Amino acid sequence: MSDLLSELRDACEWVATRALHVRIQADEIPAYAAGLPRDAPPAAPDPDAHLLSGTREQLAAFWLTLNAVNFGSGWFPTLQKREGRSGYFTIATGIRGRFLTNGPWGARQLAAMRAAEIAQVLGQAPDHELMELFARSLGDVGGHIEEDHGGSFEALVDSAGGSAPTLVERLTGWESFADVSSYDGVNVPFLKRAQLAAADLSRAGVAIDLGGLDRLTMFADNLLPHVLRLDGILRFEPALVDRIERGKLIEHGSPEEVEIRACALHAVELIAAQRPGSRAADLDQLLWLRGQEPRYKASPRHRSRCTAY
């Protein structure tokens, strides 16, 4: 059991009991949990955005590289998106294209990454603020892979000894995957991208026997809280809803933003408790797919400019 993941669950429950801007509608959860499909097929990787074949090393490199830059949703409205693609899929498609055309970046190449290079790969302006953040995150990943794992991405995966929580804690120690907020003096280690990286590596077959996936939580971002709000499981105070619908940024680390993420995560834990055998990470995937439907796309979600999501 991961101490950090236990700390995360406890902290989110603690935040939910004190939240002033977001409330969990606990009475609605039993019916909501019962109404969610149990036999929904797992989300298949997108063949146009994800690398589906290659050596284990190449696949490990792809998923770790992608997760290193799987953030920036607060800037997505300012990106030059590929036709019919969201911000995430624009980024993923660009990374995949680089892997197919020129092969993976090696650890040393990532360590030397510059904003202009990643901008060119992603089809973005080199002076866009997000490109510098992407380059910094990729550089950190490359440095750790080179110095700690002999330049091998799969060696990092194997260093976790088949434990998803251990892999999460390894990644959490890197600046590129850091994701800890504070609420009224209490640390909330959301660890969104570190957890998602572990799940992605398992789903991609890079870490086939990765145990402890049931210990992962929801991957706290800005889509699942949006889905849960529109589905009536979360209630935001009217002033917060108004700011979101007017497209106002919600400051990362502010009480409102921490409450949004923490209450969503705790709500998913409550939903999972109503469904024996359900894993929070699987519910995350189910609700993420629901969030791609037109009803959810038509309404604004909260935006925060940060490297967490």
Residues designated as active site: 221
How many separate helices (H) and strands (E) can be counted in the chain? 15, 4
How much is the CA Rg of the chain, to the nearest whole Å? 19
Count Cβ atoms below 10 Å from residue 32 Cβ, excluding itself.
17
φ, ψ (nearest 5 deg) of residue 211:
-95, 165
Sole residue written with tokens 């063949």: 47
Packing angle of the helix pair 115-122, 129-149 (nearest 10 deg): 110
What is the C-alpha separation between 60 and 151, in angstroms, rounded?
Answer: 12
- Cα separations (Å) of 24 from 115, 216, 255? 41, 21, 16
Listed in sequence order, the residues at least 6 apart from 308 whose beta carbon sits closer than 8 Å to its beta carbon are: 71, 179, 181, 190, 192, 193, 220, 221, 252
Longest dimension (CA), the chain: 53
Are the beta carbons of 208 and 226 closer than 8 angstroms? no
- Cα separations (Å) of 31 from 232, 283, 301, 308? 11, 15, 24, 31
Coil vs helix vs strand at 124: coil
Coil vs helix vs strand at 187: strand
- Cα separations (Å) of 231 from 109, 180, 236? 44, 27, 12
